[in-house]
Amino acid sequence: MPLTTLLSDLTPIPSYPAPSWETLRSVSIEDNGESLVPMSLAPAPIKVFPAYARMGIPGAIQECFVREGVYRALLAAARSLPEGIGIIVLDGWRPWRVQQYLFDTLHEAIQHQQPDLDEAALLERTREFVSVPSREPTAPSPHLTGGAVDVTLCDADGLPLDMGTLFDEALPASHSDYFEQLETLTSQQKKARDHRRLLFNTMKQQGFTNLPSEWWHYDFGDQLWAYYGAHDQACYGPAELDTIENRWRQQLA
């Protein structure tokens, strides 16, 4: 089947409300103990581009780690894509320091742009694109679990496909269903909409859920996944890299 025909037949991205963070925090976690594994081990058609490290963000690491279940689901998703299309992994497990930096930076930028916002509105606006940094065992930031992953699609040469906005753009157009809501679309917007549909349907088929405000953000096993996927509990809590320091700390505890 020609790619253009396949894309035109894809199911539209449904509209979901923003998460209720209070409800989300009440989702129980029973961590299954899976290790964090590097996505750079994955064969084609997966590519790894640790975006935050390449941007020079303090504390960012030169690898994208995810839980083993996420690794296998991502590989299955990539292998199910039409020939000539692959997945680029932009971020996975995220150190708490990086989460804090992203939150503070966006919070400050919004405050500068909209100085009349009260603190509650400012927090809500910031949370639209960056979750509150948390290492709490019962309510960790999604990326701290290794269950959240940021991805996009690429062509056969490894170049990103047009998704309508860049990764991490804090704009209404970054909402996954943005192009589904427009009455008329340009040819370029239709292409971006179809690429988002392909990514969404491919990831959904492998059990991922999507954060509605970010076309690139998908979850598997964490509290957001349990919330949007109607699962009884999450299976990933806070995770740490297998460093020699962490090993010794655990062994000597």
Q: Is 150 annotated as a binding residue?
A: yes
| Amino acid sitting at position 107 | H
Helices marked H in 13-171 — which ranges? 21-25, 51-54, 68-80, 96-113, 119-127
User: Can you name the residues that pair with 209 across neighbouring β-strands?
Assistant: 219
Catalytic status, residue 214: yes
Q: SS3 of 83, please?
A: coil
Q: SS3 of 22, please?
A: helix
Q: Is 217 annotated as a binding residue?
A: yes
Dihedral sign computed on CA atoms, order 164, 113, 135, 17:
negative
DSSP E strand stretches across the chain = 36-38, 46-48, 65-67, 86-91, 148-154, 209-210, 217-219
DSSP assignment letter at 81: S
Residues 180 and 250 sit within 8 Å (Cβ to Cβ): no
| Residue 53 backbone phi and psi in degrees, to 5 | -65, -40
- Selected catalytic residue, list 34, 68, 136, 214: 214
DSSP assignment letter at 86: E
For residue 4, count CB atoms less than 10 angstroms from its CB and return exposed for 0-12, middle for 13-18, buried for 19 or more.
Answer: exposed
Q: Checking phi first, is residue 15 left (phi over 0); if not, alpha (psi -120 to 50) or beta?
A: beta
Q: Is 231 annotated as a binding residue?
A: no
Active site residues: 214
Annotation: binding site: 143, 150, 217
- Residue ranges at the known binding site for Zn(2+): 143, 150, 217
